[in-house]
Structure 1
Amino acid sequence: MKKSMLAIGAISILFFSFIATQPKIYAQAGGSSVPFLLISPDARMSGMGETGTAIADDINAIYWNPAGLGFLDYFPKQNPFDENEELRPFRQVALSYSPWLPQFNADLFYSYGTIGQYFDYLQGTVAFNFIFMNLGEFNRTSANGDPMGKFISNEFALGLSYGTIIAPDLSIGAQLRYIQSNLTPTVAGQQDAGNGNSVSFDLGLLWKPQNLPYITDRLSAGFNLKNIGPKITYIRESDPLPTTLNLGLAFNIVKDEYNDLKVAGNFSKLLVKRDSLGSDPLPKSLVTGWDNPGADWSFGLEYWYDQVFALRAGYFTEPSTIGGRQYWNFGAGVKYSIFHVDFSFINTVEANHPLANTMRFSMLIDWR
């Protein structure tokens, strides 16, 4: 693909505008960097409208709510009537892939993977993950338009997470993440490039009461404050990370031998405050970020038949003052032996939206 240096700017703007925020947000609600951190990684939760904060019941909890790792201790017995069968510690691997912004035919793609295991001596589950966003290959040209070779633009993050139970119905989790952004290479005679790095951490809580009156163990509630960290610098310009507060609720409407129907909702608020004078630093932005107009809301449901076949649907919306993204999510999943395979699809309300027809493919493996 032949592109000029202007293409990297165009792709970056489009990526930022339609994934994390819209141009209105940049002026009104923050203008954060590395928006790839806000892309939901797995097809299951994406198919439910990105409502994973209060669910977080597999290894992908490292993204949605690291506190969910605390409840992932042992696999259920394959034969519940066999008293001699030993409990096996939870171990799971997840992989996801998504061609990104397919309408642009720009060879963008998003990939994600995680692996985790419960350790009895740590009384919790440890997980490691990576996120990689490929922004394509570009032709580099001089100020006179002469070709100077090619470069690849990408961003990635590496994360380490831990979750544990701190009360019978309550878990806590955290993630430490390294972030690297490689937008443009270093040019001879210049000291700076469009590259930057930073670190961040996430903090989550998950409440899963077991004996509530009338509803027993059907309700769960989650909290996740993510992407907390120092600004990332490009060519002497510093931009804040997309620090985000997520609150979620989930409820099992139907739960019997063959049928399982769950509904969930999620509230998401970008806590970044930026204006013409710059952006507020942490921890001040955790307070001033509430002055940003509006927030994202999402709702979803998941139906399992015999814990073998799943159908999912969800809806994501944000007010027009912060971009106005609105889309339906649909998904399906199949579970066979130790394998879980999931697929999701975005159907945007607005015609010809860059996110239209975005698909995700995911696989989970129970490493028994």
Structure 2
Amino acid sequence: MNKIAPWVLFWIAGVSFGQSVRKYSNEFLNIGVDAAAFGMANAVVAQTQDVNSVYWNPAGLVHLEDGQAAAMHASYFANIAQYDYAAFAQPIDTESAWGISVIRFGVDDILNTTQLIDSQGNIDYNRISKFSTADYAFTLSYARKLKIPGFQYGINAKVIRRTIGDFANSWGFGFDLGLQWDRDDWNFGLMVRDITTTYNVWAINEEAFKSIQGAVAGQNQELPESTEITAPKAQFGVSREFDLHNETFLRVSGNLNMQFTKTNDILATDVVSIDPALGAEYNYTDLIFVRAGLGNFQNVTQIDGSRRLGFQPNIGIGFKYKGIQIDYALTDLGDQSAALYSNIFSVKVDFSIFR
């Protein structure tokens, strides 16, 4: 891709300025995983019961009967950014389970033109190099049933690695906590991300950073602070499955995605902002799945200063045969929200097919 080095300033600007809690930090962890979930607008916190629970709600891992693996790929911003995810989980015994996952969101082959002009003022294209900027998250999950029937909990311990070429890199660490309650055909779930707040500590290459500033006239010559803190977020979900007979089912679910600050969400106060999401899945004999969802309800400011309601309609389809499931989702159908649409594919394998 053709990007000049000053573009990376926007990434370095993402490094925290001081110890304050920031609205937007480690945002790549809010994108989501699994095309099946995307097809339902990510309204799956209450119903998740497979390997992808390592992301959506680790409490759901206790429903695993055998080992499972999953992978997903998506492209964003006209294929400039690549988003990849892989996970594995398996039961420990009838009461507990564990899982691991890795997420990468990155932009590769960015042209570094800061050294294009030498000290004599000559342009030398051999001085152009390439670099990548990428965010990684490594998660270890544990789930266990509580002694109260229908209740289970899960914990994520996550390590975050963020790199911006040779200019800067960081390490972060945090925890998530998930709860689920199942009763008859109803499922309830609560997921609190970054429950202890998540800290990222940056190491900045001062010489490389100043070379960027020198390439862009008028930029601040001060280095940004080296610590950023991600504030907690919460998701509450409800889901129910309806038996339509003849081995067909309809699942309806909803999420309330909460941030404890004022945002552009449809329900916003100084204390909490709430973005609802709704999803539905039609299941034919556990073989064919058709999904739809609405989410990302935002008050979008227009060029003329007026505001309109933006929302994100998603659709998806899935096929499952002998423990192998392939899912596809098209997000932001009709370009109704400020988000860009994307085609998302994922695969899930249940290891019971090998036994």
Return the match for 2:156 from 163, 171, 175.
175
CA distance in 1, matches of 2:232, 2:261: 6
Which residue of the partner structure matches residue 204 of structure 1?
Answer: 178
Paired AA for residue 158 in structure 1? F
- Asked if 1:224 is matched to 2:203, the reply is no
* Aligned CA-pair RMSD: 2.7
* Distance change in 2, residues 1:339/1:240 (3 Å): same
Which residue of the partner structure matches residue 274 of structure 2?
Answer: 295
Which residue of the partner structure matches residue 98 of structure 2?
Answer: 126
Which residue of the partner structure matches residue 349 of structure 2?
Answer: 365
CA distance in 1, matches of 2:262, 2:270: 8
Paired AA for residue 52 in structure 2? N
* CA deviation string 1:34-59 (max 9, x = no partner): 11000111100110011111011111
TM-score of the superposed pair, with normalisation by structure 2: 0.78
Return the match for 1:270 from 259, 274, 277.
259
Shift of 1:243: 2.6
CA distance in 2, matches of 1:242, 1:272: 9
Shift of 1:64: 0.7
- The 8 Å contact of residues 310 and 338 in structure 2, kept in 1 or not, is answered as no
- Asked if 1:164 is matched to 2:134, the reply is no
1:333-348 → structure 2 map (5 Å cutoff): 333-348=318-333
TM-score of the superposed pair, with normalisation by structure 1: 0.76
- Aligned-partner SS, 1:36: helix
Shift of 1:3: 1.7
Which residue of the partner structure matches residue 94 of structure 1?
Answer: 70
Unaligned residue ranges in structure 2 (runs of 5+): 15-20, 119-126, 203-223, 302-306
- The 8 Å contact of residues 116 and 128 in structure 2, kept in 1 or not, is answered as no
* CA deviation string 1:198-219 (max 9, x = no partner): 111110110001xxxxxxx211
- The 8 Å contact of residues 76 and 82 in structure 2, kept in 1 or not, is answered as yes
- Aligned-partner SS, 2:230: coil
Which residue of the partner structure matches residue 315 of structure 2?
Answer: 330
CA distance in 1, matches of 2:334, 2:84: 25
* Distance change in 2, residues 1:126/1:293 (3 Å): closer
1:237-316 → structure 2 map (5 Å cutoff): 237-241=226-230, 243-271=232-260, 291-292=270-271, 294-316=273-295
Shift of 1:272: 5.7
* CA deviation string 1:163-198 (max 9, x = no partner): 111022110110100001112424xxxxxx2x2111
- The 8 Å contact of residues 40 and 50 in structure 1, kept in 2 or not, is answered as yes
Which residue of the partner structure matches residue 33 of structure 1?
Answer: 25
Paired AA for residue 157 in structure 1? A
- The 8 Å contact of residues 176 and 200 in structure 1, kept in 2 or not, is answered as yes
* CA deviation string 1:329-368 (max 9, x = no partner): 1000000112000000013554695512x01101010001
Return the match for 1:236 from 209, 225, 230.
225
- Aligned-partner SS, 1:70: helix
Return the match for 2:37 from 45, 48, 51.
45
Paired AA for residue 253 in structure 2? A
* CA deviation string 1:52-103 (max 9, x = no partner): 110111110111111111222x2xxxxxxxxxxxxxxx2100011111233x
> If each structure's strand is expressed as a fraction of its own residues, which one has the higher value?
2
CA distance in 1, matches of 2:225, 2:335: 37
**Across the two proteins, how many residue pairs are aligned to each other?**
305
CA distance in 1, matches of 2:137, 2:40: 24
Shift of 1:227: 2.4
Unaligned residue ranges in structure 1 (runs of 5+): 17-28, 75-89, 187-192, 210-216, 275-288
* CA deviation string 1:106-149 (max 9, x = no partner): 2x1100011011112x8311101000111222122337755452
- Asked if 1:109 is matched to 2:82, the reply is yes
Shift of 1:258: 1.5
- The 8 Å contact of residues 294 and 318 in structure 1, kept in 2 or not, is answered as no
CA distance in 1, matches of 2:132, 2:157: 27
- Aligned-partner SS, 1:303: strand
Paired AA for residue 291 in structure 1? D
Shift of 1:239: 2.5
| Amino-acid identity (%) | 25
Shift of 1:11: 7.2
CA distance in 1, matches of 2:110, 2:74: 21
* Distance change in 2, residues 1:46/1:351 (3 Å): closer
- Asked if 1:61 is matched to 2:53, the reply is yes
* Distance change in 2, residues 1:343/1:31 (3 Å): same
